Amino acid sequence: MALPFLLDRRSFLQRTAVGAAALCGWRTSGERAPLPHFTPRARRVVYLHMVGAPSQLDLFDHKPALSRWHGQDLPDSVRQGQRITTMTSGQQRLRIQNTNRTFAKRGACGAWISDLLPHLAQCADELAIVRSMQTDAINHEPALNLVQTGHELPGRPSFGAWLAWALGADTRELPAFVVLHSSWSGPKQDQALYSRLWGAAFLPAEHQGVLLRSQGDAVLFLQDPPEVSRAARAQQLAALAALHEVAQARFGDADITARQRQAELAFRMQAAVPELVDLASEPGHVTARYGPDVHTRGTFANNALLARRLLERGVRCVQIYHRGWDQHRDLERDLPLQCRDVDQPIAALLGDLRQRGLLDDTLVVWTSEFGRTVYAQGSPGDPHYGRDHHPRCFTTWLAGAGVRAGHQHGATDELGYNTVCDPVHVHDLNATVLWLCGFDHERLTFAHEGRDFRLTDVHGKVVRALLA
């Protein structure tokens, strides 16, 4: 006698919801991503996020007028009633702070870049520099969420997860989306990075980013126990797949399929990851370009080289985080240290990709969650001054596939406080990156809870001036 087919409450609701959606002509969340809407310029993306907000006024946004305004109060006509954080709202003065950096025009394009980035300055003609970036959030957590997921509140898929879902995997041995955390030279007290920043949220779970660790095994449980052979692991996976097939037929839960795919990927990663992180095969002249820290696991230099190795092995999106840029104090001491961490490795990565023919179809993005103020945080004359958060203008640059190399986009006022030309919102940046990857951001949607969601929410426009 056949056993009755039983449904639990969750399965009943899922099945009836899917049936109702089909009757109404709605798409369901199990639907695969569409093919690219047009021919993509970029097949892969490496995203370099400087967590904490580097001071654009000391790196990319040259303001000669600061020397004349130094020590004076920020005029009300410039602030225009804009909100500021509670870290400086209690100061008696918002004292304009000059930069002590030396700027020069770099490359044939004449881009202003400070002396803190001498290696990157040599790549100026490959960069499209946006000096008019804007965001809505003034504190790190919502600003990080906004630029990474398109919404200030948690719960949306990350940028890399959207790309992994949209582009699909180009390798069977590694995830489509890999995340790397870097050590940093500034103070170690810094805001946390939460896994939701590379999570998949309501996208299929297999598209979440996989974080490679910098200590011990790059992935937890990478090695099988001594008594478990590879053949035995393969048999376990086959048995698990059979059980998952039965469960999927019964419950219709997309997460069951995702778990099986992840288990199979983990099995293949056991062979692929050790070879990936072993830099012994890299020629000495290549590793030397990345600087003296390249062989120290977890450094930005080591991660930059790993990013290139991941990209050439078929990974679609590599995201490197580098913390320590939140310089509310001791900017003069800590900003040079932070720049030293990333300057040479970024230039080496660009050169490496170019030499291997990968830069033509790889998009490189360098950004942060917001910028820093022209006024100092701290009392007048304090040698340990810093700069506060500033959402109204900051700097981002792009390089590689489909990017208008050597272009300088947007401008700020003479104090670097307000954008006066060609503003670019973080939604616009994400729309532009998706366009370079072959997708119209308004059409790349995922049905969830009765609504079509997208990375740019209900905002954003492609910045055509940044395109080659």
* Residue 423 belongs to a domain: yes
User: Which residue range(s) make up the domain with 95?
Assistant: 32-221+285-466
Q: What percent of the chain has pLDDT over 90?
A: 77
* Residue 237 belongs to a domain: no
291 token code pair = 């600087």
* Residue 242 belongs to a domain: no
* Residue 12 belongs to a domain: no
Strand partners, 45: 317, 363
* Residue 236 belongs to a domain: no
Taking only the tens place, the pLDDT of each residue in 413-429 is 999 999 999 999 999 99
Lowest-pLDDT range of 26-30, 194-198, 250-254: 26-30
Task: Select the more confidently predicted residue: 264 or 53.
Answer: 53
Taking only the tens place, the pLDDT of each residue in 73-131 is 999 999 999 999 999 999 999 999 999 999 999 999 999 999 999 999 999 999 999 99
Task: Read off φ and ψ for residue 258, nearest 5 degrees.
Answer: -60, -40
- Residue 58: give its domain's CATH number: 3.40.720.10
pLDDT score recorded for residue 10 = 57
pTM beyond 0.75, yes or no: yes
Residue 14: band (very low, low, confident or very high) from pLDDT cuts 50, 70, 90: low
Residue partners of 170: CB distance under 8 A and separation at least 6? 43, 44, 176, 314, 315, 316
Q: Is 148 left (phi over 0), alpha (psi -120 to 50) or beta?
A: alpha
* Residue 9 belongs to a domain: no
Residue 225: band (very low, low, confident or very high) from pLDDT cuts 50, 70, 90: confident
- 369 touches 394 (CB < 8 A): no
Number of domains within the chain: 1
* Residue 376 belongs to a domain: yes
* Residue 11 belongs to a domain: no
